[in-house]
Each structure stands twice: as structure tokens, then as C-alpha cells.
Chain A
């Protein structure tokens, strides 16, 4: 969501260098996104060593697949975090002992490093969090349990005691509201998704 063009060197330049097997580019990308990737993996898995494994595999996967990155499909941050998220969920679903609760852990304060990048991140943190909290509880909980809890829609329907269609509807409406809020607050431009239904 952040202005990627403000980063030096730009992410796209780093990805191109990664495809050329440039270790310095990989180190820079890791320094830029390693912490949020680890935070995401840790939030999903609840365990440091497993989170390390997932972040490691995610960056190595990016290292191997840099040539397949397409900027028109999304930015580098999103691409990397998607890889990490998918792997973390995959690992989580293979073990059944830990399923994180919704987002109480995020009540902790964000990092307070005194850098422009951290300042931008803190604004983003507050904006996304406010947008999430503005959702009706059922929509917010559905999105959190799916994204951070690794639950499938079938599992969510069972846990929440609602039909599958309701789970899908809550996700759809919730994501649309988030998109509008982020467009408004962060000035991003998203295309509108048609065919919505009203579900509360």
C-alpha cells in the first residue's frame, strides 16, 4: 500500500537484479520486508522456529522465481507476503495443535524506530487497523480467522455456525469495505468489484 516508488532502489529494480542472481539485491529485499514477513508468519504459526522456516523458504522461493514476477499482478511487497502467507497456512494446516485466536496480539504497539519508513509504516498500520476495526464484528472475525487463522471456508462455516454462503458474503462485503477505506485514507486506487450482495 505504501508508495513503492519512494523506495531506493525501487523494488522492481531489486527483483530484476534478483533474477540475475544478485545476492545484494536479495539482502536488500530481506532488510526491507523480512520483519513484516516474519511478523506475518509468526502471527499465523505462533512459533518462532516455524516462522523462521517459512520466511526462509519464502525468500528462497522468491530468489528462485524472481524471473516469474509480473508487476501487473501486484507489487513486490504483496508478492513476497503472499508467498510467505501461503506457506505459513500450508504448514499450519499440517499440524492441528495451534490455531491462533483473532487479532488481540495486534493490540501491541507497532515498532517505534525513528525512520521515515517506520513513520510511513505506522500510518499504514493505524489506517488498516482502523479500517478493520470499523467492520461489523462478524465480517472482521471472518476475515481475521481466514487470513491469520488459516481456516478454510468450510471450517469457518462450522466454527461460526453459519452457511457457507454467509461466510463468503461476509468476506466479500468486508473486503470491499476495507478497500474503500484504504482508497480513501491511503489514496490508493483500486478497481471496483461488481456483483456484490448485502450481508450483515
Chain B
């Protein structure tokens, strides 16, 4: 006994993706609870999914493979945290913490309280990293590929699924900018309004992470330019820009 009516008459439409979103949701909901309809749907979907076999295989741009793997690698890494009073004092990395602990021991002033504090700090950092990794799932990501003289560089914006988690971008292979110039990250809404989100200079590393102060909700694209001013409207050349984000 199912809670919703059988959807037998809609299964062909469902298999071919010919239903509007709302009706597709209705059918999906029923399939989740009805083994009989689900089995019929599976058979039809198996036929529908043979249709791509009729297509000629085009050459796929090589950058797409790198882009997929880069995004996956980024998601696998712990998401950076939003800085606040609690996380700010966790900022020193493992090496610094280890160095501090060693220094305390060398100076002979180690107190049990201090060492416990350091261990707690490390545990909290690990715990936070684990939480950050999990909250990044279910979010969305936008990729930007460098254009023109910036070809080869790129960036992936990750907006974690959890509402209060900060969005961040991992750039790779950013070129240096001239003295006084900065990279400016823009968020673009569906009406084409560009909103300045962050200014930064490249740190010279292969990968550089920028945490956004504001959520990306309401925006459909992001872009990176080189600017001489840290405020005001966009004036500099476009370095990279994402495509319009599809719905999830």
C-alpha cells in the first residue's frame, strides 16, 4: 500500500525526462515508496539510457578532466573555516603548535595545564576539520577557467550546503599582479549586477584559498578581475568567469 497514487502512465515521460520539474518530483516521490512502479521505471530508463549510444563521440577538451579532478580534490580537502573569536586562536598550524610545545619543554616551564591546552587545541582543530569536510557536501560549486594570458589558471568556488558555513574559493596557478594591483573577486546576479566580494594578492603558491565574507545566495556567477582600486565598480581586465550556475 503506497501513500501516493501509482504513476504508471507517467513512467515513459519520466524515463525520457519529459516531465516538468514539479511533476518529476511527484513521480520520484512515488517511486521511492513503490517497488512495482520502480521496477517498471527501471526497465524504461534502461532503454532510454541506450539513446546516447547513437551519438558520435566528439573530442572532449582535455581541461575538463583536470577540472573534474581538481573540484573533487578540493572537496576532499577540509573546507577552510570562517574566522571568529573561537577559530582565530586556532590559527597556528601543526608545526607552530609543535614548536610551541617544544619551546615550553626546553624552557623548563611546562605546566600540565599548558600541555593539556595544546592537546585540546589540536583535537579541536581535527574535529573542526572533520566537521568542515562534512558540511561542504551537498553544496554547490562554480568553476572558473583563466582566459587569454591567464589560461592555465582557474578557481573553484565552493558554497557548502550548510547555511551558516562560509563559501570559499580555491584558486590554482594564479599569476603575479603588478605592484599596486589586486585580484578582485566578483559575484554576479541574474540581472547582471556585479558585486565586489574580495580583494587579494596572489601568495605565490600553486593553490590559494579565499574565504568569502558574505554568502553567494542570490548570485548565479562569479568572476575574477585585476583592479587598481580596492573599491568601486569593475574597471580592470577579466581574468576568469564561471558559467551561469544550474539549479541543483
Contact = CB atoms under 8 A, between A and B. Distances in A.
B58 A39 contact: yes
A111 B57 contact: yes
B246 A52 contact: no
A26 B68 contact: yes
A175 B12 contact: yes
B37 to A, nearest CB: 11
Interface stretch (B47-55, B102-110, B118-126): B47-55
B12 A171 contact: yes
B130 interface: no
Interface string B103-143: 00000000000000000000000000000000001100101
Interface in A135-178: 143, 146-148, 150-154, 156, 168, 171-172, 175, 178
Nearest to A78: B49
23 contacts: A1-B46, A1-B50, A23-B72, A23-B73, A34-B64, A35-B58, A42-B58, A55-B64, A56-B143, A57-B246, A73-B42, A74-B45, A94-B246, A105-B56, A132-B54, A143-B16, A150-B17, A151-B18, A153-B18, A154-B20, A168-B12, A168-B13, A190-B46
A81 interface: yes
A69 interface: no
B18 A156 contact: yes
Contact of A50 (B11, B46, B243): B243
A36 B90 CA distance: 46
Interface of B: 8-9, 11-13, 15-21, 38-40, 42-58, 60-61, 63-65, 67-69, 71-73, 75-76, 137-138, 141, 143, 243-244, 246-247
Contact of A168 (B9, B17, B20, B38): B9
B162 to A, nearest CB: 14
A132 B51 contact: yes
Given A34-B65, A125-B54, A147-B51, A90 B246 contact: yes
Interface string A34-77: 11101110110000111011111101100110000000011001
B247 A56 contact: no
A1 B53 contact: yes
A91 interface: yes
Contacts of A121: 53, 57
Contacts of A109: 56
Contacts of B40: 191, 193
Contacts of B21: 90
B19 A26 contact: no
A150 B55 CA distance: 16
Nearest to A63: B72
Contacts of A57: 141, 246
Interface residues of A, number: 77
A121 B50 CA distance: 11
Contacts of B48: 147, 175
Contacts of B244: 94
A35 to B, nearest CB: 5
Given A81-B49, A121-B53, 14 more contacts: A26-B72, A30-B68, A42-B58, A74-B49, A85-B52, A105-B56, A125-B53, A147-B17, A147-B18, A154-B20, A156-B18, A171-B12, A175-B47, A175-B48
Contacts of A16: none
B12 A56 contact: no
Contact of A74 (B8, B42, B73, B247): B42
Contacts of A146: 13, 16-18
A55 B11 CA distance: 25
A171 to B, nearest CB: 4
Given A78-B45, A152-B18, A153-B13, A56 B71 contact: yes
A74 B46 contact: yes
A35 B47 CA distance: 20
B47 A190 contact: yes
A108 interface: yes
Interface in A68-122: 73-74, 77-78, 81-82, 85-87, 89-91, 94, 103, 105-106, 108-111, 121
